[in-house]
């Protein structure tokens, strides 16, 4: 094998360092025979001296042939072989082939990926380097080594002759006992080398203990500061009692945090950089949050740069704003903090009336000093979201509001939003945007429906955080073929069929009180209708009135409590679904009393007109329709001959439909809803029975997967999503059903 200049000497040096060249196979005038003779003499000498001798012979024949080249090279680099030598050895080993001959027949050539070429003196050398760092304790080195066996044999003998009197001792109480002793010495003034002065109090200690626990003291006593050479140090801006507790903590690792000391302990711990105590103080304050003190704790956290506590306290204020706004702490807030709160999109309020009342109460707490701030405050109140009656009876009549012309302009803006609902898309701004509470989770509600010959009035809700279904209060009326939609923090059940007649009645669900309340009825009885929400208005289109298929449509304004007719669709549609996309409504498919429809039409509220768009790829009635990531999805339904599992989606920019992955189960009379970036297909009928199964679609993978099943089988079901802070309601039954039912 050709050897590069200097590489052989480097290998020899490394092997010598690794104790490889002391083996007889590598020494001049030595051999395996001389090794055995020397070994026999040493064993005989030990036996003659009365020692017990155990001998183990290990045969490593062919062992090196199993060592992979890659592992060998890694090992050689780890023992200190230079990169150039490793590269040289790698080039020598790689690209080798071998074959065997049996009875004159040659085998195929096979790559050699382990061992080294036979007969090379480099083989035992590399093998010894490979195994030489076995972690074996050495008691009596054995110098008689042959070329192949000695290192491992030496290790085996050493293991058998290990000194049985050597043990390792580790005391788990040592540190504790030592610090207990040091604390007693501190209390008795023994070996103390520092006296801390704070106020009228003097606290003794040991510099090494204080410096080891506190980065503040470490810097003071170890750097070139004058205090490092002093035995008396005066501290300022720290509470004496808190300092004494923290010095005690340095010795004992124990401290009690409570109402009586947290306000002095936290700033003291921050100064001394005792982060563990600081975190304990923050944890205690977090556990004490309530509406009466959360603003104070938030300010305290801000002053002392406790970012996590500040964030948690601020979140608590937003989530409990109604209660917080009635406290003395709120009344004493400066203007800027009030503006920051009432302008937040994350404010948790049942209605904007609570924000308006909070602002007026704050102003009236110091009316002479605060009346000039009313215009700035009212710009942050979302007046368009207040009811018309409240605007006229409480806002327009308030002298503090009427006194400012800017407030009159805001009131006019709110009234225009009410009086011109078809223009709400144009009138939208930050004051028309509903608030969304921080920390709220999305909850899917399944409302009504039917199974076999039963019509359901009960409702259940799916919490994505826990993957569980919960029963909630039942509706006052049983409803199948119902339209369901969410506006703000309320759920609306519109029309439907109660088993006897088609309905015009409407009721709403308040998740805060877990109750249903009646709302103003529609102008027309409608079952099998489509509903959707656009700019805070609830639209109902098509359906069946008990006598004929409908093309009429109407809308409901929760702010005024009124239903208003809008332009009729060009086609009569029952079992129709409606969705909102890009400021328009889309009525999709349905049944016109003679055929199942592939047609779709779009409603533009600003011009009160329905216009046709591209037909779907398939005829569909009773399909699920929802919008996700700017695309209109239609899933399942019935084409007049069978129940479907196919899915397609519409691009409004291209005015085209395309197929996507089909559902796992055929479904019609189900509902489809978008939630957390997924589409959920809920319940329905598979052509033979009602379903309680759920599946969800991931647009990023174009796949449907199973989700947890409902309590109840529901076809002709209505589904909508609310964002809720506190869910489920108290004492609601829960269910977690395996998704394998799909």
**Three-state SS annotation for 479-532:** CECCEEEEECCEEEEECCECCCCECCCEEEEECCCCEEEEECCCCCCCECCEEE
Q: Which residue stretches of 214-291 are H helix?
A: 215-222, 240-252, 262-272, 275-287
Identify the pLDDT of residue 380. 96
Distances (CA, A) of 611 to 19, 561, 599, 614: 91, 28, 11, 10
- For the chain, list the domains and their CATH numbers: 7-160 (no CATH), 173-254 (3.30.710.10), 441-728 (2.120.10.80)
Task: Give dist(CA 55, CA 154) in Å, integer.
Answer: 10
Phi and psi dihedrals of 696, rounded to 5?
Answer: -130, 150
Listed residue (409, 327, 338) closest to 373, CA to CA: 338
CB 690 within 8 A of CB 456: no
H and E: helices and strands count for the chain:
24, 34
* E-strand stretches of 558-691: 562-566, 577-581, 584-588, 600-604, 609-613, 624-628, 631-638, 643-651, 656-660, 671-675, 678-682
CB 477 within 8 A of CB 527: no
- Residue 299: the pLDDT is 96
Q: Which long-range contacts (CB under 8 A, 24 or more apart) does 5-12 make?
A: 7/84, 7/85, 7/88, 10/82, 10/85, 11/81, 11/85, 11/125
- The whole-number pLDDT of residue 455 equals 96
Residue 26, classed as helix, strand or coil, is helix
Burial of 530 (0-12, 13-18, 19+ CB in 10 A): buried
Reported as a single tens digit per residue, the pLDDT across 131-150 is 665 443 333 444 444 444 44
Q: What are phi and psi for residue 281, nearest 5 degrees?
A: -65, -45
Pairing of strands 631-638, 624-628: antiparallel
pLDDT on residue 585: 98
| Two tokens, residue 436 | 């969304």
In sign, the C-alpha dihedral spanning 402, 404, 405, 410 is negative
Structure tokens at 525: 């009885």
Owner of token pair 């110098």 = 143
Q: What is the structure's pLDDT at 164?
A: 45
Q: Count of residues for the chain?
A: 742
> Which residues are 515's β-sheet partners?
510
Name residue 586's beta-bridge partners: 579, 602
Cα separation values, 521 from 48, 474, 605, Å? 113, 19, 22
3-state secondary structure of 228: helix
Q: How far apart are CA 485 and CA 539, in angstroms?
A: 9
Question: If the chain, 742 residues long, is cut into consecutive pieces of 10 residues, what is the mean pLDDT of each piece?
Answer: 50 53 62 76 80 72 71 77 78 80 82 71 66 46 45 42 62 88 92 92 93 93 82 92 95 94 95 95 96 96 95 95 96 97 93 95 96 96 92 92 92 90 85 85 95 91 91 96 95 96 97 94 98 96 97 95 96 98 97 97 96 98 97 98 97 97 98 97 96 97 96 96 83 47 32
Pairwise CA distance, residues 296 & 324, whole Å: 11
């Amino acid at each position: 094998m050709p050897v590069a200049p200097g590489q052989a000497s480097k290998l020899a040096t490394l092997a010598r360092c690794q104790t490889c060249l002391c083996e007889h196979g590598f020494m001049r005038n030595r051999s395996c025979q001389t090794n055995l003779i020397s070994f026999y003499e040493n064993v005989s000498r030990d036996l003659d001296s009365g020692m017990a001798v155990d001998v183990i012979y290990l045969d490593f024949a062919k062992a090196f042939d199993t060592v992979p080249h890659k592992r060998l090279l890694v090992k050689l680099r780890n023992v200190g072989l230079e990169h150039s030598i490793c590269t040289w050895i790698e080039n020598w080993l790689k690209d080798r082939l071998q074959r065997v001959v049996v009875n004159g027949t040659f085998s195929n050539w096979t790559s050699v990926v382990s061992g080294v070429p036979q007969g090379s003196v480099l083989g035992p050398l590399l093998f010894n380097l490979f195994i030489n760092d076995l972690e074996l304790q050495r008691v009596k080195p054995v110098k008689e080594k042959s070329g192949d066996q000695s290192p491992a044999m030496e290790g085996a003998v050493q293991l058998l002759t290990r000194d049985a009197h050597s043990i390792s001792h580790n005391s788990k109480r040592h540190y504790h006992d030592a610090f207990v002793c040091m604390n007693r010495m501190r209390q008795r003034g023994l070996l103390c080398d520092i006296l801390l002065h704070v106020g009228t109090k003097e606290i003794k200690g040991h510099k090494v203990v204080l410096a080891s626990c506190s980065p503040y003291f470490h810097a003071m006593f170890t750097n070139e500061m004058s205090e490092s050479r002093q035995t008396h140090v005066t501290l300022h801006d720290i509470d004496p009692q808190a300092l004494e507790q923290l010095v005690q903590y340095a010795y004992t690792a124990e401290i009690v945090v409570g109402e009586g000391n947290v306000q002095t302990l936290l700033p003291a711990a921050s100064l001394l950089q005792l982060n563990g105590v600081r975190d304990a103080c923050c944890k205690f304050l977090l556990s004490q949050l309530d509406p009466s003190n959360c603003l104070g704790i938030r300010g305290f956290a801000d002053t002392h740069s406790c970012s996590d506590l500040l964030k948690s306290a601020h979140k608590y204020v937003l989530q409990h704003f109604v209660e917080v706004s009635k406290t003395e702490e709120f009344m004493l807030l400066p203007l800027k903090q009030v503006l920051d709160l009432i302008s937040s999109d994350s404010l948790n309020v049942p209605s904007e009336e609570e924000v308006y009342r909070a602002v007026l109460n704050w102003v009236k707490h110091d009316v002479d000093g605060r009346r000039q701030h009313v215009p700035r405050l009212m710009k942050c109140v979302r007046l368009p979201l207040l009811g018309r009656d409240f605007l006229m009876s409480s806002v327009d009549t308030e002298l503090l509001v009427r006194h400012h012309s800017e407030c009159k302009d805001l009131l006019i803006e709110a009234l225009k939003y009410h009086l011109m609902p078809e223009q709400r898309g144009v009138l939208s701004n930050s004051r028309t945007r509903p608030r969304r509470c921080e920390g709220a989770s999305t909850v899917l509600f399944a409302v009504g429906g039917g199974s076999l010959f039963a019509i359901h009035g009960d409702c259940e809700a799916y919490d994505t955080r826990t993957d569980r279904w919960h029963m909630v209060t039942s509706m006052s009326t049983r409803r199948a073929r119902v339209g369901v939609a969410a506006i703000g923090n309320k759920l609306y059940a519109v029309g439907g069929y109660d088993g006897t007649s088609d309905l015009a009645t409407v009721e709403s669900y308040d998740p805060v009180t877990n109750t249903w309340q009646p709302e103003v009825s529609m102008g027309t009885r409608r079952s099998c209708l489509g509903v959707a929400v656009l700019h805070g208005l609830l639209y109902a289109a098509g359906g069946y009135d008990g006598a004929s298929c409908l093309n009429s449509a109407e809308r409901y304004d929760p702010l005024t409590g009124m239903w208003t007719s809008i332009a009729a669709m060009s086609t009569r549609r029952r079992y129709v679904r409606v969705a909102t996309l890009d400021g328009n409504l889309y009525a999709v498919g349905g049944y016109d009393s003679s055929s199942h429809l592939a047609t779709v039409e779009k409603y533009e509220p600003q011009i009160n007109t329905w216009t046709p768009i591209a037909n779907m790829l398939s005829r569909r009635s009773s399909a699920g329709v929802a919008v996700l990531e700017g695309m209109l999805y239609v899933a399942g339904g019935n084409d007049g001959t069978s129940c479907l599992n196919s899915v397609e989606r519409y691009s409004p920019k291209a005015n085209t439909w395309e197929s996507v992955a089909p559902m796992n189960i055929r479904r019609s009379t189900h509902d489809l809803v978008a939630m957390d970036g997924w589409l959920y297909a809920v319940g329905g009928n598979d052509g033979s029975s009602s379903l309680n199964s759920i599946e969800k679609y991931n647009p990023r993978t174009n796949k449907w997967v199973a989700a947890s099943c409902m309590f109840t089988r529901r076809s002709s079901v209505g589904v909508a999503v609310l964002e809720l802070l506190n869910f489920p309601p108290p004492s609601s039954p829960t269910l977690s059903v395996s998704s394998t039912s799909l």
